[in-house]
A and B are shown apart, each in its own frame.
Chain A
Amino acid sequence: MKLLSITVLFSLLAISASAGGPGKGYQVGDKVTDFKLKNIDGKQLGLSDFQDRKGVIVVFTCNHCPYAIKYEDRLIDLHSRYGADFPVLAINPNAPTVEDDSYDQMKVRAQEKGFNFPYLLDADQKIAHQFGAERTPHVYLLQPVNKTWQVAYIGAIDDNAGDASAVKTRYLEDALKALKDGKPIAQSTTKAIGCTIKWKQ
């Protein structure tokens, strides 16, 4: 009750003066324009390469961000359990001003961690802008609808970045299980903490 009243108070008081935020980029239900980006194996890869799947987990992520690093093992796990139906498609949107996030370092990190999913570079940051991604990690679960892709879920992977063993709600997994079972997604937008995407100046 206390929390509720504070929430109400905040909604009444909050004034947004920030750039970005909702209204820019994709919302749940929006159609997604296909793209092609360079994978760490040098090949171009895009959504059209996954047309036979039940969905694609697009994750804007990177090498240097501690929040992104905390989720690397969980992405590998998700891909190994659901990859046949819902492959992970990781995209690094950061400008190469962050040295650890360069294309060469992406290859190194993928090798070190044994990424079992593609890891693409959004070199001109066009796709991150198109999606409206703001942080790493930032997840968009896409589903095919009438031969196009549609956003089904946006947000967090789960409810505890710091401690995988203490996770109670797996927001992303719950969403893709719902898609798999043809049920509505209970929570189609969630919020998460992350590192700001390093935009080109």
Chain B
Amino acid sequence: MTSVQAFFLLLCSLPFSLMAQSVEKKLYADIAAELHTPSDKIRVINLWATWCRPCVKELPVFEEFRQKYEGRAEVILVSLDFPADQDARLPAFVQAKGLQSRILAVQDTDPNQWLNLVNADWSGAIPATYIVGKDGRIVYFHNGETTLEALEKVVEPFLK
């Protein structure tokens, strides 16, 4: 790539990189270690994928929640997109939707090795949402679609 091409590429990508989040690829064990470290914010984690229709449909709920609770709660969108899709399809989707929440992508390939780290009762169906308190404990786990009201109901008591 010439420096001129690189400059134009940078120029074109700049407004987008300011707008949407980049994708952090991680092993779930590392995500778990981070989540279970105490924090000054309550954390709402949504397990989703670009290929999952109900997940994509409910993403605005998490974006709205993030905006409303900024500074008090953090939203982390954990993508289960196939590893082959994590370098192109997923970042393109995040840019296109202008997602502002933090985006992690699970790199593990064998769900049987890590799903129990999330929750022993989780079947592996997505979407799934869970909430981790400031002390690093899971206070809520829900398999299926959720709503802003449902999230608020769980989170509010922890913010008082």
Interfacial residues, chain A to chain B (CB-CB below 8 A): 2-3, 6-7, 9-11, 13-22, 64, 66-67, 70, 98, 134-135, 138, 155-156, 159-163, 166, 168-169, 171, 190-197
| Interface pairs (18), CB distance under 8 Å | A13-B36, A14-B119, A14-B121, A15-B140, A16-B120, A18-B142, A21-B122, A21-B143, A161-B82, A162-B82, A163-B82, A169-B110, A191-B111, A191-B115, A192-B111, A192-B115, A193-B124, A196-B127
Q: Would B110 and A160 count as touching, CB distance under 8 A? A: yes
User: In the complex, how many angstroms separate the beta carbon of A82 from the nearest chain B beta carbon?
Assistant: 21
* Chain B residues within an 8 Å CB radius of A168: 110
Residues of chain B at interface, number, CB under 8 A: 42
Would you call A21 and B52 a contact (CB within 8 A)?
no
Assess whether A156 is in contact with B123, with CB atoms less than 8 Å apart: no
A interface secondary structure, majority: loop
Cα distance A130–B157 in the bound complex, in angstroms: 37
A6: which of B33, B121, B141 is its contact (CB, 8 Å)?
B33
* Chain B residues within 8 Å of A15, by CB: 137-141
Q: A159-B112, A160-B109, A193-B125 are in contact. List 10 more A-B contacts (CB 8 A).
A: A21-B123, A70-B82, A138-B123, A162-B85, A163-B83, A171-B112, A192-B115, A195-B125, A195-B126, A196-B127
Task: State which residues 103-140 of B face A: CB under 8 Å.
Answer: 109-113, 115-128, 136-140
Contact A21 B110 (CB under 8 A): no
- Docked Cα-Cα span, A57 to B145, in Å, equals 29
Q: Secondary structure of the B side of the interface?
A: mixed
B4 interface hit (Cβ, 8 Å): no
Tell me which residues across on chain B come within 8 A of A2, comparing CB atoms. 29
Complex interface: chain A residues within 8 A of B9 (CB) = none
The reply to whether B109 and A159 form a contact with Cβ atoms under 8 Å apart is: yes
Produce 1/0 per residue, B13-35, CB < 8 A to A: 00000000000000001001100
